[in-house]
């Protein structure tokens, strides 16, 4: 996959045209008017592996780019002043109409993204949820899937990683449930 990041042309503080300048050994965007480098950082996002009692997981079919038409875990970008856990549960509600409780942090992955450069994806496991499942604005379909070869390929590497993390560690996760 070729990554072409959308270029920022103007300073978001003063609107002046940005230049490129070597600072700390890296070519960075620089505003000559504000006399400051414009630092670019990964965007944090969350996703959730939601399991039902039969260990089927929820996937949503994307109706928006990137990866429109592919299936992925429910999730999305964190908002300012929001905790990652709250972001994960908010996205779950928006995309599936389900209310859930975080069970476990599965890990953190960096995903190459055509628009943002790098998205930092935080994955959680959810086993307790309630509500009537229905797809949100960003999805054209939603369903439970058995983890086998018939399951559609996940749209993002990070989502695939979190799904594999759950199913490769199922005995451990079940043990954890007994400990709680």
Give residues in contact with Zn ion (CB under 5 A): 11, 13-14, 16, 31, 33-34
C-alpha dist (Å) from residue 129 to 89, 96, 97, 99? 10, 11, 10, 5
User: Residue 34 or residue 104: which is nearer to Zn ion going by CB?
Assistant: 34
**Minimum distance from CB of 43 to Zn ion (Å)?**
21
As given in the structure block, the two tokens for residue 90 are 């908010």
C-alpha dist (Å) from residue 123 to 7, 23, 44, 147? 28, 33, 11, 17
User: Residue 16 or residue 146: which is nearer to Zn ion going by CB?
Assistant: 16
- With 0-12 / 13-18 / 19 or more C-beta atoms within 10 angstroms meaning exposed / middle / buried, residue 130 is exposed
User: Residue 28 or residue 127: which is nearer to Zn ion going by CB?
Assistant: 28
Backbone angles phi, psi at 172, to 5 degrees: -65, -45
Q: CA-CA distance, 161 to 58, in Å (whole number)?
A: 15
**Minimum distance from CB of 77 to Zn ion (Å)?**
25
User: Residue 10 or residue 134: which is nearer to Zn ion going by CB?
Assistant: 10
């Amino acid at each position: 996959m070729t990554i072409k990041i959308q270029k920022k042309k103007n300073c978001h503080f003063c609107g002046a045209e940005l230049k490129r300048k070597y600072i700390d050994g890296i070519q960075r965007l620089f505003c000559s008017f504000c006399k400051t480098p414009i630092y670019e950082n990964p965007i944090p996002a969350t996703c959730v592996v939601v399991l039902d009692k039969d260990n089927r997981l929820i996937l949503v079919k994307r109706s928006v780019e990137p990866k429109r038409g592919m299936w992925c875990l429910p999730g999305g970008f964190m908002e300012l002043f929001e905790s990652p856990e709250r972001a994960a549960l908010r996205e779950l509600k928006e995309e599936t109409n389900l209310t859930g409780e975080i069970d476990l942090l599965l890990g953190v992955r960096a995903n190459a993204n055509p628009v943002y450069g790098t998205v930092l994806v935080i994955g959680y496991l959810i086993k307790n949820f309630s509500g009537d499942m229905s797809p949100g604005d960003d999805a054209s379909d939603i369903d439970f899937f058995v983890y086998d070869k018939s399951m559609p390929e996940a749209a993002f590497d990070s989502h695939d990683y979190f799904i594999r993390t759950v199913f490769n560690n199922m005995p451990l996760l079940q043990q954890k449930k007994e400990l709680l």
